Amino acid sequence: MTREYGAVTREILDELLSALGKNRVLSDHDGMEPYSWDETGKNFAVLPEVVVKPGNTEDVRAVMRIAQKHRIPVTASAARSGVAGGAIPLRRGIVLTTEKMNRILEVDPVNRTATVEPGVITNDLCKVAAEKGYLYAGSPMSTFTSTVGGNVATNAGGAKGIRYGSTRAHVLGLEVVLPGGDVLSLGGKIRKGTWGYDLKDLVVGSEGTLGIVTKIVVNLEPMPGRTADLLVPFRTIGEAVAATSKILALGVSLLSCEYLDQPSVLLTSRYVKYVYPFQDEAEAFLLIQVEGKDEETLERDCDKVGNLCYDEGAIEVFVADNRSDSADIWSVRQNYAEALRVKDPYFVSGDVLVPLS
Ligand SMILES: Cc1cc2nc3c(=O)[nH]c(=O)nc-3n(C[C@H](O)[C@H](O)[C@H](O)COP(=O)(O)OP(=O)(O)OC[C@H]3O[C@@H](n4cnc5c(N)ncnc54)[C@H](O)[C@@H]3O)c2cc1C
């Protein structure tokens, strides 16, 4: 039987070692094992033949040249929080991890952008942007573990998607190393791009199939005003769903509106040791983040949302307006996936998209 791809031989290993140095190339079983699986589950694990840890674009180019010369498959890998197996090296070969490319290169207040390497943890970018008075609105629930590069490659959505869109909406520019080592520079610190094909948008969401993203320019938003989180239990799923479209039509400024079902809440609440009020009676919860430019507007808009929820059959409306209460109620939503994984290591998750109607 002929192999579709080449195998990583001693000579190829030596080429990688001389390009990157010995601390940047792993080929022992134990060292490579963590790179054989992601959050899809260990049961899908495939051990690569070699793991490389480039530190910059030139390193990535060198790896891609060697890989193409010898027909070795390359799988990009970042924080491996993905739940679709994208970072698993199905055809073995080279795993290229971006973990050493983790610098925030610039926050540019004039252009309201940040430029980062792909291995930056998303929340680190959020923190640095916030220190300078800006919001980085990419906010998957895995923000504390996943990377900006991984978010770009998966076009990650998240809790603030309802207001700001998925990752594609935040990406202004990309540097991409193609198979073979050529470098593409797509977009930049500009917001208007009316010419030709939008290759940048094509790369976003392409899960490493088109090339390795080595630099990312993102849009930064002005910081939102004051926020409050409303946790609203409903006796039935139907009531929660009906309330959602009406809340969105209210015209108040929302940052999030998350739906949580009872089985997931019960499971996750045991995992994070935080109990939602009425979790034994409520079939569904809404977790709504309201924004107001000042205290008065915020209070007024929270009342509007709360009253509407009562009209739609809410059992109660709880308002968390301090950081620790907010962190607690969000912890349940943020830990869904881990709680499920602990309960059932073989579960496979997916998103379901429906129109508001
Ligand atoms: C608890 C939890 C919550 C989550 N919440 C969300 C959520 O709210 N929204 C959401 O969309 N997803 C969510 N996810 C899924 C996952 O976190 C996201 O898909 C995330 O974007 C993956 O980032 P990562 O750095 O872990 O990438 P990885 O999992 O390492 O890689 C993901 C894919 O990107 C490719 N890739 C990585 N880096 C590069 C690069 N530099 N160039 C090219 N390709 C690259 C990989 O080959 C792979 O195909 C969640 C996962 C968990 C475990």
Residue, of 348 and 237, whose pLDDT is higher: 237
Mean residue pLDDT of the chain comes to: 94
CA of 235 to the centre of ligand 1 (A): 34
Determine contact, residues 80/38, Cβ cutoff 8 Å. Answer: yes
Specify the residue with its C-alpha closest to ligand 1, atom 16: 82
Per-position b or e across 115-150, b if 16+ CB within 10 A of its CB: bbbbbbbbbbbbebbeeeebbbbbbbbbbebbbbbb
Tell me what pLDDT residue 342 has: 87
Q: Give 353's pLDDT tier (boundaries 50, 70, 90).
A: confident
Tell me what pLDDT residue 170 has: 97
pLDDT in tens, 171-222: 999 999 999 999 999 999 998 877 789 999 999 999 999 999 999 999 999 9
DSSP 8-class letter at 244:
H
- Within 6 A (CB) of ligand 1 lie 38-39, 75-83, 86-87, 98, 118, 140-142, 146-147, 149-151, 153-154, 156-158, 207-208, 212-213, 337-338
pLDDT in tens, 39-53: 988 889 999 999 999
Give all domains of the chain, ordered by start, each with its CATH number.
10-97 (3.30.43.10), 104-222 (3.30.465.10), 226-343 (3.30.70.2190)
Tell me what pLDDT residue 2 has: 57
Residues shown for the chain: 357
Determine contact, residues 143/137, Cβ cutoff 8 Å. Answer: no
The Cα–Cα gap between 41 and 334 comes to 18
Q: Tell me the average pLDDT across 302-326.
A: 93
CA of 149 to the centre of ligand 1 (A): 8
Determine contact, residues 269/279, Cβ cutoff 8 Å. Answer: yes
Give me the torsion for CA of 94, 351, 166, 299, rounded to 10°. Answer: -140
Determine contact, residues 286/244, Cβ cutoff 8 Å. Answer: yes
Q: Give 149's pLDDT tier (boundaries 50, 70, 90).
A: very high
Tell me what pLDDT residue 351 has: 79
CA of 154 to the centre of ligand 1 (A): 6
> Beta strand pairing status for 226-234 and 318-320?
antiparallel
Residue, of 1 and 278, whose pLDDT is higher: 278
Site to probe by mutation for ligand 1, drawn from 144, 146, 151, 336 as the one with most ligand atoms within 8 Å of Cβ, is: 146
In this model, does residue 326 exceed pLDDT 70? yes
Tell me what pLDDT residue 155 has: 97
Give me the torsion for CA of 117, 121, 123, 129, rounded to 10°. Answer: -20
Q: Tell me the average pLDDT across 124-134.
A: 97
Q: What is the CA radius of gyration of the chain?
A: 22
Q: Give 61's pLDDT tier (boundaries 50, 70, 90).
A: very high
Determine contact, residues 176/203, Cβ cutoff 8 Å. Answer: yes
Q: Give 4's pLDDT tier (boundaries 50, 70, 90).
A: confident
Q: Give 262's pLDDT tier (boundaries 50, 70, 90).
A: very high
Tell me what pLDDT residue 76 has: 98
**What ligand 1 atom has the least distance to the C-alpha of 86?**
49
**Half-sphere exposure for 224 (CA within 13 Å, toward CB):** 19
CA of 140 to the centre of ligand 1 (A): 9
Question: Helix-strand-coil percent breakdown of the chain, rounded to 5?
Answer: 35, 20, 40
Q: How many CB atoms lie within 10 A of CB 340?
A: 18
In this model, does residue 270 exceed pLDDT 70? yes
**Half-sphere exposure for 194 (CA within 13 Å, toward CB):** 1
In this model, does residue 307 exceed pLDDT 80? yes
In this model, does residue 3 exceed pLDDT 70? no
DSSP 8-class letter at 121:
B
Determine contact, residues 173/188, Cβ cutoff 8 Å. Answer: yes
**What ligand 1 atom has the least distance to the C-alpha of 145?**
26
